[in-house]
Amino acid sequence: MFAGPFSFIGQITERLNDWASNHWFLAVIVVIAFVDAVIPIVPSETALILAGIAVSTDRAPYHLLTAMACGAAGAFLGDNTAYLIGRRFAGAVERFAARRPSVAGKLRWAESQIVRRGGPLLITARFVPGGRTALTLASGITRQRHLRFAAWVLVAAVIWAAFSAGLAYLVGRPFKDHHAAAFWMAFGTAITINVIIELVRHRRAANRPAGEVGEIGA
């Protein structure tokens, strides 16, 4: 009964793995990481995982560090673009919030989270699809200092890209002759670690004193 759907998924995985064995896949990584940071509808982690698998199975004509650098570059540019979009429409959002108490309350809450939890929040948020876009937009809307924001998202982008591609390489290496198995092992491991990170983040947030305040970059 499940043979059809799983067979289809396997075919897609094999096709993406074929794409990952080309030099031009590096450009795909940059574009996907950029778009995913602004509009979280494309699988940027998956692209980096595929690159890591391609390197680990000796099918990639590029180096692992090159794939990481491309992912980090796309993510960094995308995060800054989202920030600038938020900054551009900050005034309009504030005027709208002034007429909508519920929106104003959410905006104040978002700003308090950014101010209280600072730069490390930008790092953990990069591992939460959708959440990172919301945070980078909110950083622009609340007019956080751009240089400090850029410094933190640079660190976040490098850690995220190194984690995604590096983990795929390490997990996929033992499955060198089984590309689909390598992908699913790496993908499953990445999802599990992301869930653990999110649980730890929520736990730490719950235990943090309410009065603990600091600016991004502090």
CB atoms within 10 A of CB 176: 13
Residue 14 in domain:
no
Do 35 and 78 contact (CB within 8 A), yes or no? yes
Task: Identify the domain containing residue 176 by its residue range.
Answer: 21-207
Q: How many domains does the chain have?
A: 1
Do 193 and 23 contact (CB within 8 A), yes or no? no
CA-to-CA distance for 97 and 75, rounded, in angstroms?
Answer: 29
Residue 215 in domain:
no
What's the predicted TM-score (pTM) here? 0.77
- Cα–Cα distances (Å) from 146 to 82, 95, 135, 153, in that order, read 12, 22, 14, 10
Residue 168 in domain:
yes
pLDDT in tens, 63-98: 999 999 999 999 999 999 999 999 998 888 777 777
Residue 197 in domain:
yes
pLDDT in tens, 167-215: 888 877 755 655 566 666 666 676 666 666 666 656 665 665 544 444 4
pLDDT in tens, 30-59: 999 999 999 988 778 888 988 998 898 888
Does 182 or 154 have the greater pLDDT score? 154
Residue 4 in domain:
no
What is the distance, to the nearest Å, from the Cα of residue 111 to the centroid of all Cα atoms in its chain?
Answer: 21
Residue 48 in domain:
yes
Task: Give the model's pLDDT for residue 75.
Answer: 96
Task: Give the model's pLDDT for residue 5.
Answer: 46
Residue 148 in domain:
yes
Residue 113 in domain:
yes
